Amino acid sequence: MMSSGYRSTPQRETSPIESNELGFDDSLLMATRLHPPSRPKLLLLSCLSSTFFLIFILLPVVIPDERTQFDFPRFGLNDLLRILDPFINFPILYLLFSSAKPAPSKTLTILFALSSVLFIFGSTAHTMSTLLKHSIEQIMLAQGPSKIPAVEEAYDYTRNVWEHIVSHYMYAAGIFFASVLIVIVHFRASYPPVPILRGWLLAYSGVLSGILYALVFTQLPYAPLIGTAVSAFVTTTLIFFLWKEGDLGFGRCATRPIPQIYALGTTLALILTIVWTVIKGIRGRDLD
Rg (CA), the chain: 24
Domain boundaries, the chain: 37-189, 194-288
- Measured over the CA atoms of residue 114, residue 204, residue 81 and residue 164, the dihedral's sign is positive
What single DSSP character describes residue 66? G
Confidence of residue 220 (pLDDT cuts 50, 70, 90): confident
At 80 the pLDDT is 85
For residues 160-199, one letter each, b for 16 or more C-beta atoms within 10 angstroms of the residue's C-beta and e for the rest, the string is bebbbbbbbbbbbebbbbbbebbbbbbbbbebeebeeeeb
Over residues 52-70, the pLDDT tens digits come to 999 998 888 777 665 444 4
pTM for this prediction: 0.78
Over residues 144-164, the pLDDT tens digits come to 766 788 888 888 899 888 988
| Mean pLDDT calculated for residue range 64-88 | 70
Among residues 80, 93, 38, the alpha carbon closest in space to that of 257 is found at 38
Residue 185 neighbours by CB under 8 Å, 6+ apart: 97, 100, 104, 108
